[in-house]
Amino acid sequence: MSSHSLEQFLTENIEDLKSKGLYNVIDPLQGPNGPTIDIEGKSLINLSSNNYLGLATDNRLVDASIEAAKKYGAGAGAVRTINGTMDLHLELEHKLAEFKHTEAVITYQSGFNCNMAAISAVMDKNDAILSDELNHASIIDGCRLSRAKTIRFKHSDMEDLRAQAKAAKESGLYNKIMVITDGVFSMDGDIAKLPEIVQIAEEFDLITYVDDAHGSGVLGQGAGTVKHFGLSDRIDFQIGTLSKAIGVVGGYVAGSTKLIEWLKLRSRPFLFSTAMPPASVAAIIASVDILMNDQTLIKKLWENGDFLKSELKKLGFDVGHSETPITPCIIGDEVKTQEFSKRLYEEGVYAKAIVFPTVPKGTGRIRNMPTAAHSREMLEQVVSVYEKVGKELGII
Ligand SMILES: *Cc1c(COP(=O)(O)O)cnc(C)c1O
């Protein structure tokens, strides 16, 4: 029997979420997470994955996984620092460093773990972190874990960043100051103003940290937002995920040899959590190989993104100010957003409603993620369903 106080807490809070339209229902897939998905025996066009390049279901990755599982087993057996490091892990890290144009790379079990690992390995209570107000939850948690003073700056507002950096520097209160930003903001699809951020960082001696979970495999010939701006040697930390465009699972930090050496000595998820399984590592190696040798999928992703965005805009939807294939469709009211998503589902389109706390209250949206794996016919079908449901609910 659970305690009375726990029971009361859970009941009240779950009911509260339901009444506000903030209760998220999880729909299990009955097969792969491809351009179409099967849910409850129904096939739907899928616009909700982060599988940007369709690599999650690519046979080259699947075959590499099977071979590695047969050779190395299903699990790594230990944390990286004891004897969980296999030659495959090192091969992947070397390959990623080459791909990212940095001296070295360390991998973790997830992108989320990277932010748990890397921030607190260098920042402590005598430091400050300037953090974009729309940064990802894992960055926020990573900052908290470090116990540094977190100073939020207005989203991509370079005047505000400069003013806060100046104030923090001149206060003399902090040993080190870091600036952290997403490379691509996942809910709006806009790109961080890295050239200005780097300039401000150089002026005030800030450590620079870019979490490029949504930029990797999408911008800069796949190498990410930092490469896109030609800033590979001027950013201290580049975080990437292996779970989105790369199509598998895991994350990495790319940076200088000395930084990576330190993270291998002192970052806690590296020291205290088991290494990534060999099948996943082999699949990631295959995936990065594809990206390094062939731009076809990236090109297709952008074509599909541009098509969907311009068609929805033509119909009169508010697609925000995305600069990437991420195509939000902003509805506003949370309950209406959920209703819109539900109607899309009934019409055969799977596009999730994103509401508070993932985005600010009153900015509920459908987040559409076209991928390289979608055909033009699928996207045309999506557009006609959007038109029908948009008119029906009085949104266009
Ligand atoms: C998705 C995401 C993560 C988490 O990556 P996982 O590999 O899924 O754990 C971290 N940071 C940002 C900015 C993200 O968008």
In percent, the amount of the chain with pLDDT more than 70 equals 99
Supply the pLDDT for residue 316.
Answer: 96
Q: What is the secondary structure of 294-345 as a DSSP string?
A: --HHHHHHHHHHHHHHHHHHHHT---TT--SS-EEEEEESHHHHHHHHHHHH
User: Which residues pair with residue 150 across a beta bridge?
Assistant: 129
What CATH number corresponds to the domain at position 382?
3.90.1150.10
What is the whole-number distance in angstroms between the Cα of residue 189 and the centre of ligand 1? 14
- 239 and 119 together in one domain: yes
- DSSP class of residue 136 equals -
Supply the pLDDT for residue 1.
Answer: 61
- Residue 6 belongs to a domain: no
What is the whole-number distance in angstroms between the Cα of residue 271 and the centre of ligand 1? 20
Q: Annotated catalytic, 374?
A: no
CB under 6 Å to ligand 1: residues? 110-112, 136, 138, 182, 186, 211, 213-214, 241, 243, 251
**Which atom of ligand 1 is nearest the CA belonging to 182?**
13
| pLDDT band, very low/low/confident/very high, at 310 (cuts 50, 70, 90) | very high
- pLDDT above 80 (res 284): yes
Which domain-ending residue is among 258, 293, 328?
Answer: 293
- Residue 111 belongs to a domain: yes
* CA-nearest residue, atom 14 of ligand 1: 213
The parent domain of residue 376 ranges over 21-50+295-393
- 185 and 256 together in one domain: yes
| pLDDT band, very low/low/confident/very high, at 297 (cuts 50, 70, 90) | very high
**Which atom of ligand 1 is nearest the CA belonging to 241?**
7
- 150 and 65 together in one domain: yes
**Which atom of ligand 1 is nearest the CA belonging to 214?**
15
Strand-strand pairing, 237-241 and 251-255: antiparallel
Other CB atoms within a 10 A radius of the CB of residue 8 amount to: 10
- 197 and 244 together in one domain: yes
- Total residue length of the chain: 396
- 167 and 255 together in one domain: yes
Q: What pLDDT digit, counting tens, does each position of 24-80 carry?
A: 889 899 999 999 999 999 999 999 999 999 999 999 999 999 999 999 999 999 999
Q: What is the mean pLDDT of the chain?
A: 96
Choosing from 242, 243, 287, 324 the residue with most ligand 1 atoms within 8 A of its CB, the one to mutate for a pocket test is 243
- 37 and 127 together in one domain: no
- Residue 12 belongs to a domain: no
- Residue 4 belongs to a domain: no
Supply the pLDDT for residue 146.
Answer: 98
Mean pLDDT for 364-384 is: 97
- Residue 81 belongs to a domain: yes
Which domain-ending residue is among 293, 322, 347?
Answer: 293
Supply the pLDDT for residue 147.
Answer: 98
Which domain-ending residue is among 267, 293, 319?
Answer: 293
Dist CA 164 CA 298 (whole Å) = 37
- Cα–Cα separations (whole angstroms), residue 191 to 160, 169, 243, 321: 17, 26, 20, 10
**Which atom of ligand 1 is nearest the CA belonging to 183?**
13
* CA-nearest residue, atom 6 of ligand 1: 111
pTM score of the predicted model: 0.95
What CATH number corresponds to the domain at position 169?
3.40.640.10
Q: Annotated catalytic, 244?
A: yes
Q: What pLDDT digit, counting tens, does each position of 233-260 carry?
A: 999 999 999 999 999 999 999 999 999 9
| pLDDT band, very low/low/confident/very high, at 216 (cuts 50, 70, 90) | very high
- 172 and 319 together in one domain: no
Residue with tokens 């999928």: 297
Dist CA 276 CA 278 (whole Å) = 6
- 107 and 159 together in one domain: yes
- 149 and 35 together in one domain: no
Dist CA 326 CA 341 (whole Å) = 17
- Residue 247 belongs to a domain: yes
- 271 and 204 together in one domain: yes
What is the whole-number distance in angstroms between the Cα of residue 114 and the centre of ligand 1? 9
Residue type, 227: K
Q: Which of 149, 244, 352, 374 is catalytic?
A: 244
User: Which residues pair with residue 209 across a beta bridge?
Assistant: 180, 237
- Residue 64 belongs to a domain: yes
- 378 and 287 together in one domain: no
- 255 and 357 together in one domain: no
**Which atom of ligand 1 is nearest the CA belonging to 135?**
13
* CA-nearest residue, atom 1 of ligand 1: 213
What is the whole-number distance in angstroms between the Cα of residue 213 and the centre of ligand 1? 5
How many separate domains does the chain show? 2
- Residue 379 belongs to a domain: yes
